A and B are shown apart, each in its own frame.
Chain A
């Protein structure tokens, strides 16, 4: 089974703090994604990576950066957390050997910025 793990289930941070969210997958997938999910807005793509050190912006990259130094690990960084970044953050991965849209998700990190 594909396993995607995220560093925290729940996180509370203060406005202005730098926040790191980590995601690890164990299936040698080429593609990794960071989404956020908000009520009424659905799932929105922040960034995705198709290879080590490669990244593409999604629909809402502002206020976020990402890092992919190893194939299995994809980090999302909130440079200076703000209250409007309170959300559920979801990491996913997929393999080019199967299908790009067959994405496997982690359990999510519910981030609250106060």
Chain B
């Protein structure tokens, strides 16, 4: 599995875009990048995933660099409900489980 590195914490003003970076320099060519988040005392929530093209869904956008060594999750208009720990994960060939690192604690401030 790719080792991922994320900042420990970030703040974002409500209504502004939240840009959460992730480094995954050891990611292999067929390994996807997944983003999950976990709001306090709830189960993790799937957000988005991608291989090499940028992806967008109703929750977020995912920008993956051309060399695939890093990516950025973008929440276009952060709300207080987006306050959570965000995890960037490599899918890992042959592994059944999701391996969450420490993630980034995003605090959205009014």
- A residues with CB within 8 A of B: 4, 33, 35, 42-45, 48, 56, 58-59, 90, 92, 99, 101-108
Interface with A: B4-12, B21-29, B38-46, B59-67, which one?
B38-46
Query: Are B42 and A59 in touch, CB under 8 angstroms?
Result: no
Cβ-defined contact, B96 with A45, below 8 A: yes
| Contact status B46-A104, CB under 8 Å | yes
Chain B contact residues: over half helix, strand or loop, or mixed?
loop
Which of under 10, 10 to 19, 20 to 34, or 35 or more describes the interface residues of B?
A: 10 to 19
Whether A90 pairs with B44 at a CB distance below 8 angstroms is yes
Q: Name the interface residues of B81-110: CB closer than 8 Å to any CB of A.
A: 89, 91, 96-102
- Residue of chain B at shortest CB distance from A94: B46
Binding site for A on B (CB under 8 A): 32, 34, 41-46, 49, 89, 91, 96-102
Residue picked from B49, B89, B97, B100, most chain A C-beta under 10 Å: B97
Listed by A's residue number, 15 A-B pairs whose Cβ atoms lie within 8 Å are A4-B43, A35-B97, A42-B99, A42-B100, A44-B97, A48-B96, A48-B97, A56-B96, A59-B97, A90-B44, A101-B49, A105-B44, A105-B45, A108-B41, A108-B43
